[in-house]
Amino acid sequence: MSLKITDDCIACGACEPVCPNQAISLEAHVYVIDPARCNECFDLYSEPQCYVVCPTTCIVPDPEHRETLEELLWKKNGLHPEGWDR
């Protein structure tokens, strides 16, 4: 399941640089998550990195983009075909 950023976003920008998938961008004064790139940081980090650094509670699961762990892994492998190295 992709995460999403709600209207409570204060546009601090903390989340954008920590996303390993370049899934976060600024649009019309708030940050948004591209569900095609977000894989919940599965198999990359132990927790979603945007959620960890967000100073508010505006990053939540997106029920419109539910995925199995297999799908999250497939997405990660597609985004990091050379492997993942922090």
CA–CA distance, 41 with 47 (Å, rounded to integer): 7
Does residue 41 bind ligand SF4 (CB under 6 A)? yes
Q: Are 59 and 50 in contact (CB under 8 A)?
A: yes
In the block, which residue shows the tokens 């977000």? Answer: 38
Binding of ligand SF4 at residue 33 (CB under 6 A)?
Answer: yes
Closest approach, Cβ 29 to ligand SF4, in A, equals 18
Token pair 């409570």 in the structure block, residue: 8
Answer yes or no whether residue 23 interacts with ligand SF4 by CB under 6 A: yes
| Interface residues toward ligand SF4, by CB under 6 A | 3, 18-19, 21, 23-24, 33, 38-41, 48-50
